Chain A
Amino acid sequence: MAGVSSCDRIGAVDDDDLAVCLNAAVGGDEVGFAAVWRSLQPALLRYLRVLVGGAAEDVASETWLQVARDLRAFDGGLPSFRVWLFRIARNRGLDELRRSRRRPEEPREPAGLDDQFVRDVAYEVAERSDTRWAIDMIRTLPRGQAEALMLRLVVGLDARAAAQVLGKRPGAVRVATMRGLRQLAVRTDVRERAAAPPLPRPDGTTAVTATGSEGM
């Protein structure tokens, strides 16, 4: 297989190359699997941050464990692989949400934002500050809108594929996307962002060390 050698590259891989890598991975090739991981992990992580906040890293690695286990039996192209991957991630993420809701020592606050900043230290350092800010904005939306936006904008799924992941109809996904965009467009912190240069959160770190140590 001539194309498989491109799976070894570090940089961006286009969809044609990635399809070759995926085929190799299904056949058991670890270089192909690594290429698939590299190419989809960032979007997966961002989607999961919106869905489960601080538990995103954990849920992502659980997702890849299941993919590693079941990939051999996967039969389809790259588009259906994306849907499959994000369906697994979503199911695991929803499981995680149910688990964390049941955990008595970690009461979930409706605000969401502070909660997230307190709980996820890794998140604090892992992400570029502007991407972090954008993800936090998305997190303020109702979950259906937030998920639709992430799947379409960040993962690059069309309305039909996103609908398959979400178990909804494509029309509902389009409407959710529109409502989400409308809400974001009128937010003052988004509109002001256009004028102000991006700044990291001033005292986010102190909040993390103050409350994070007792939470964990």
Chain B
Amino acid sequence: MRWRDAIQHAMYVWRAGRIDLPEADRLAAGGAPGPGQPGLGALLAALTAEPSRRELPGERAAVAAFVAARRADALAGRVRERRRVRVRPPARMAAVKIATAVAVLTVGGAAAAAETGNLPDSLQRHAHDLFSPLGVPAPSTSAPPSEQDRGGPGGSGQPTAASTHPMPGTVGPGGSAVLGLCEAWQAARADPHSKAMTADTLRALGVAAGSDSAIPAFCAGLLHESGKPSAQATPGRGTGRPLPTPSHPGATGNAPPHPTPSPHH
């Protein structure tokens, strides 16, 4: 009788600890190991244990990146609409990168004053990318288009020559983000009881200032200038109004088809 064989086999596996394919599938689906495998249950339970709070830093940075990407989408849509050309993928990526760095640095600056704000290393690198070319805003147009950029519009048209300047506001947003860092730095300095800035944030500020020792002079100058409201340059040239909220991504002429999310899956 097949079922008796099956049960006997299962009992054997369970007791003797010989893991076969069905048993492996059962364990992989969350089943508990039998007494033949002491310690394996503890191992699997530890592997799938509830996350500690420490495993969840970085949410703010990730969400900031998301918001920045949505804004960059909206921005790219508007640029496309105005110019009737497609922004080349490398340029769009550069714009997203910048917007991301700005958002992250702004959040990081605020976070330094409020709680532990940690710039992850990869974002740190983006920050470096952002600040190093200050005054040299043009990105390398010879960069090959990334294969990973599959999320772009399913464009059939050849990208036109880069007549659209991709990064009109490099200095502007960088400046305002740095201003946020300077304000946090100032606050941390003025109040010895406040939480110190994280090493990463300080490093970002050092990169912006040129060196760590140049931070005081750099921030003093920046904070002095910050009386002017015009420094808030959004990269959207010629549009003074705020960017649309991310809940309505720009559905403009050349924008990619908006996926229709169905409530069921």
Contacts and interface: CB of A to CB of B under 8 A. Distances in A.
Nearest to A10: B56
Contacts of A25: 66
A190 interface: yes
B259 A134 contact: no
Contact of A38 (B30, B40, B56, B149): B56
Nearest to A39: B51
B58 A70 contact: no
Nearest to B70: A28
Nearest to A150: B47
A166 interface: no
Given A41-B55, A68-B69, A134-B46, A194 B21 contact: no
B52 A126 contact: yes
A195 B246 CA distance: 53
The secondary-structure label for the interface of chain A is helix
A71 B122 contact: no
Q: Contact residue range for chain A?
A: 35 or more
Nearest to A179: B24
B38 interface: yes
Contact of A130 (B46, B120, B151): B46
A59 B152 CA distance: 22
B151 A69 contact: yes
A184 B151 CA distance: 40
Contacts of B42: 130, 190, 193-194, 198
Contacts of A211: none
Nearest to A171: B21
B37 interface: yes
Interface in B102-161: 120-123, 148-153
A77 to B, nearest CB: 3
A28 B24 contact: no
B23 to A, nearest CB: 8
B90 interface: no
Q: Contact residue range for chain B?
A: 35 or more
Interface in B49-99: 49, 51-52, 54-56, 58-59, 61-63, 65-70, 73, 93, 96
Interface stretch (A98-106, A110-118, A152-160, A200-208): A152-160
A46 B47 contact: yes
Nearest to A69: B69
Given A57-B120, A125-B54, A153 B28 contact: yes
Given A62-B122, A185-B33, A153 B261 contact: no
Interface string B249-265: 10000001001011101
Contacts of A194: 38-39, 41-42
B201 to A, nearest CB: 15
A65 B249 contact: no
Closest 4 CB pairs of A and B: A70-B151, A77-B265, A42-B51, A178-B24
Interface of A: 3, 19-20, 23-30, 33-34, 37-38, 41-42, 45-46, 57-62, 64-66, 68-79, 91, 125-128, 130-131, 133-135, 137-138, 149-150, 152-154, 158-159, 174-175, 177-178, 181-182, 184-185, 187, 190-195, 198
15 contacts: A28-B70, A34-B59, A42-B55, A68-B62, A68-B68, A71-B151, A72-B151, A72-B259, A128-B49, A178-B24, A182-B19, A184-B43, A185-B39, A194-B38, A195-B38
Given A27-B261, A28-B247, A41-B51, 15 more contacts: A23-B262, A33-B62, A45-B55, A58-B122, A59-B122, A73-B153, A73-B256, A79-B265, A152-B29, A174-B25, A178-B24, A181-B24, A190-B40, A193-B39, A193-B43
